[in-house]
Amino acid sequence: MEMNSASTEVQEPPGTGAPPPPWEGLPLEKWNDWRWQLANRLNTVEELGQVIRLSPDEVEGLSAAGHFRVDITPYFGSLIDPDDPGCPIRRQVLPTGRERVPFVAEMADSLAEDAHSPVPGLVHRYPDRVLMLVTTQCASYCRYCTRSRIVGDPAAQFSRKDYDAQIRYIAGNPQVRDVLLSGGDPLILPQRLLEDLLQRLRAIPHVEVLRIGSRVPVFLPQRITADLVDMLRRFHPLWMNVHFNHPKEFTPAVEVALARLADAGIPLGCQSVLLAGVNDCPNVMKDLVHKLVRNRVRPYYIYQCDLVHGAGHFRTPVAVGLQIIESLRGHTSGFAVPTYVIDAPRGGGKVPIMPNYLLSQSADRVVIRNYEGFISAYTQPEIYDRHDPARCVSCQRREADVTAEEQEGVAALLSGDQLAIVPEGFEVAHQRLTRIRWAPIKAALAPAAESDEP
């Protein structure tokens, strides 16, 4: 079996040699068959009880009526510590009674994706890119899932009619240059269907980049076959964001899967979620990003946990995320430091949250600090020959592009496209004085107004 050089440093965990209990005696080729893994996922108290010593809290979560779907591949289940309810692998996929406890500010659709959906399954929040939801199914289900309102529900599956509408929308909006396929997990789709979607998207002239968001390399690394990778590499530029939360998720099988993707020229990024009791530790996160970069995966985002029902017990204070960034910036390679973001509630999009490195500024200098607390002043230039848009090919091209949208947000203020960002209802609120009866004020001011004194 092919392996990259990092694999020799990793101890072989349960499930990568002979199948572990209770699957001992199963032929190894069947254990390594991704179809067998999907067909034999664990989801009941009885099945999981054969692998794990379930806690009363876990039994309550598994037995609750209407709980968010549970499915755990035998491979991923074999990585769980059977005796430790705090095992970071276990906490991510096993429900507990705490999922049923509501919390302040929780929402069904905390990112307002439905409100930004011009056609079913397509989210158009940012000007030049769209999120294309292609399935509601996953290999296993994360307990903190942002889309738990639809993910895992077979009745909410997307159809060929939905795909057609999504692709028509993309083809009809020339500003869309980047399409992210997500769900659910696109790598769970039948390979021919995924290939067809990629082919149709690649045929749209203004779509420059295709991306796939997947947790299959973690939950089901057996699915990353040579045949699948050969298909994916035909659609470059194709990027993939994978989703690791803890160093324990790395196994030789995972490293083989990542090496196949990277060797096919697919740039890999990682999106992690900050989870209480799983990775809310600077040392855990440093170990994680180091394992990622050793396997040619760029740490991309650390997400603050979203305000979705069932995820309340996973949430951390924002200060925890800032402490993690402080522990990484300057203490490891710059490309190993992800961006910590809050996906703003009600559809505000990803907002980067950083420690304060810029302390102050004047017209002449800025005062900055480094990761050690070393504070220094950077002198601003006395003469600045600024960029001339009239001589800039990129500016002229945008000016001539009739399909280009006006810049929005703070960038529009800086470019001069807008003079202000006005909150909803601002004008109405500031008409208050026009509604005040003017006569009493005029009478009170009259003596002073009629006086000859200055």
- Asked if pLDDT for residue 367 goes beyond 70, the answer is yes
**Choosing from 147, 149, 211, 315, which is the catalytic residue?**
147
Does 392 participate in catalysis according to the annotation? no
3-class state of residue 46 by DSSP = helix
- pLDDT per residue over 396-415, tens digit each? 887 777 666 666 788 888 87
CB-based contact 160:176 (threshold 8 Å): no
Residue 205 backbone zone (phi > 0: left; psi -120 to 50: alpha; other: beta): alpha
CB-based contact 304:343 (threshold 8 Å): yes
Judged by average pLDDT, the poorest of 72-81, 146-155, 214-223, 393-402 is 393-402
Q: How many CA atoms lie within 13 A of 263 on its CB side?
A: 14
Pairing of strands 365-369, 129-133: unpaired
**Choosing from 138, 141, 149, 291, which is the catalytic residue?**
138
Which contiguous run of DSSP H or E holds residue 366?
strand 365-369
Mean pLDDT (whole number) for 26-47? 96
Give dist(CA 410, CA 451) in Å, integer: 49
Per-residue confidence (pLDDT) for residue 412, from 0 to 100: 83
**Choosing from 211, 303, 306, 340, which is the catalytic residue?**
306
The angle formed by the CA atoms of residues 119, 197 and 130, to the nearest 5 degrees, is: 45
**Choosing from 145, 185, 301, 303, which is the catalytic residue?**
145
Which contiguous run of DSSP H or E holds residue 271?
strand 268-274
- Asked if pLDDT for residue 363 goes beyond 60, the answer is yes
- The residue with greater pLDDT, 16 or 430, is 430
**Choosing from 57, 350, 371, 395, which is the catalytic residue?**
350
**Choosing from 33, 126, 329, 395, which is the catalytic residue?**
126
> Could you tell me how far CA 395 lies from the centroid of its own chain?
31
Residues with Cβ within 8 Å of residue 44, at least 6 apart in sequence: 62
Does 230 participate in catalysis according to the annotation? no
Measured from the Cβ of residue 273, the count of other Cβ atoms closer than 10 Å reads 21
Does 126 participate in catalysis according to the annotation? yes
The angle formed by the CA atoms of residues 420, 425 and 430, to the nearest 5 degrees, is: 80
- Asked if pLDDT for residue 452 goes beyond 60, the answer is no
Per-residue confidence (pLDDT) for residue 419, from 0 to 100: 85
* Phi, psi torsion values for 78, nearest 5 degrees: -70, -15
CB-based contact 245:273 (threshold 8 Å): yes
> Tokens standing for 75?
């491979």
- Asked if pLDDT for residue 428 goes beyond 80, the answer is no
Per-residue confidence (pLDDT) for residue 443, from 0 to 100: 62
Question: What's the pLDDT band for 11 if we cut at 50, 70, 90?
Answer: very low
Question: What's the pLDDT band for 10 if we cut at 50, 70, 90?
Answer: very low
- Asked if pLDDT for residue 423 goes beyond 90, the answer is no
- The residue with greater pLDDT, 215 or 415, is 215
Which contiguous run of DSSP H or E holds residue 379?
strand 375-379
Pairing of strands 365-369, 375-379: antiparallel
Amino acid at 98: R
**Choosing from 41, 90, 91, 129, which is the catalytic residue?**
129
Average pLDDT, whole number, for the chain? 90
- Asked if pLDDT for residue 132 goes beyond 70, the answer is yes
**Choosing from 142, 144, 248, 305, which is the catalytic residue?**
142
Does 142 participate in catalysis according to the annotation? yes
Mean pLDDT (whole number) for 303-312? 94
Does 129 participate in catalysis according to the annotation? yes
- Asked if pLDDT for residue 5 goes beyond 80, the answer is no
CB-based contact 389:395 (threshold 8 Å): yes
- Asked if pLDDT for residue 447 goes beyond 60, the answer is no
Residue 57 backbone zone (phi > 0: left; psi -120 to 50: alpha; other: beta): alpha
- pLDDT per residue over 182-196, tens digit each? 999 999 999 999 999
Mean pLDDT (whole number) for 226-250? 98
Per-residue confidence (pLDDT) for residue 82, from 0 to 100: 96
Beta bridge partners of 273: 303
**Choosing from 125, 177, 200, 298, which is the catalytic residue?**
125
> Tokens standing for 170?
């993309």
Per-residue confidence (pLDDT) for residue 437, from 0 to 100: 56
Give dist(CA 454, CA 449) in Å, integer: 10
Mean pLDDT (whole number) for 360-383? 95
Share above pLDDT 90 across residues of the chain, in percent, rounded to a whole number:
74
- pLDDT per residue over 251-297, tens digit each? 999 999 999 999 999 999 999 999 999 999 999 999 999 999 999 99
Does 145 participate in catalysis according to the annotation? yes
